[in-house]
Copies of this chain bind each other. A is one copy, B any other.
Amino acid sequence: MRLAVLGAGSVGTSVVNLASEYGHEVVALADSSSATVDPTGIDIEAVLERKAGDDPVGDREPDAAFDADYDVLVEATPTTLGDAEPGFTHAKRALEADRHVVLANKGPVAERYEEIQALAADSAGSIRFEATVGGAIPVLSTIEDCTPNAVSAVRGVLNGTANFILTRMAAEGLDYEHVLTEAQDLGVAEADPTFDVDGTDAALKFVILANVLNDGGFSLEDADVDGIQNIPGSALELAAEDGRTIRLIGEASRESVRVGPRLVPEHGALAVTGTQNIVEIETRHAGSLASSGRGAGGPETATAVLSDVGRLPEL
Contacts and interface: CB of A to CB of B under 8 A. Distances in A.
Interface residues of A, number: 35
Contacts of A138: 138, 141-142, 145, 289
Given A138-B142, A145-B307, A286 B290 contact: no
Contacts of A291: 289-292
A1 B3 CA distance: 32
Interface stretch (A34-42, A88-96, A298-306): A298-306
Nearest to A291: B291
Copy count, this protein chain? 2
Interface string A138-166: 10011001110110000000000000000
Contacts of A141: 138, 141-142, 145
Contact of A290 (B146, B293, B303): B293
Contacts of A307: 145-146
B285 A302 contact: yes
Nearest to A298: B285
A303 B293 CA distance: 23
A218 B290 CA distance: 29
A290 B289 contact: no
A143 to B, nearest CB: 10
A307 to B, nearest CB: 4
Contacts of A294: 286-287
Given A285-B300, A287-B294, A310 B145 contact: yes
Contacts of A285: 18, 136, 299-300, 302-303
A288 interface: yes
Interface in A255-298: 267, 269, 283, 285-294, 297
A288 B293 contact: yes
A145 B306 CA distance: 8
A22 B289 contact: no
Contact of A286 (B147, B287, B288, B300): B300
Interface of A: 18, 21-22, 135-138, 141-142, 145-147, 149-150, 267, 269, 283, 285-294, 297, 299-300, 302-303, 307, 310-311
30 contacts: A21-B147, A21-B149, A135-B286, A136-B285, A136-B287, A137-B289, A138-B138, A138-B142, A138-B289, A141-B142, A141-B145, A145-B307, A147-B310, A150-B303, A283-B303, A285-B300, A285-B303, A286-B299, A286-B300, A286-B303, A287-B293, A287-B294, A287-B300, A288-B293, A289-B291, A289-B292, A290-B291, A290-B292, A290-B293, A291-B292
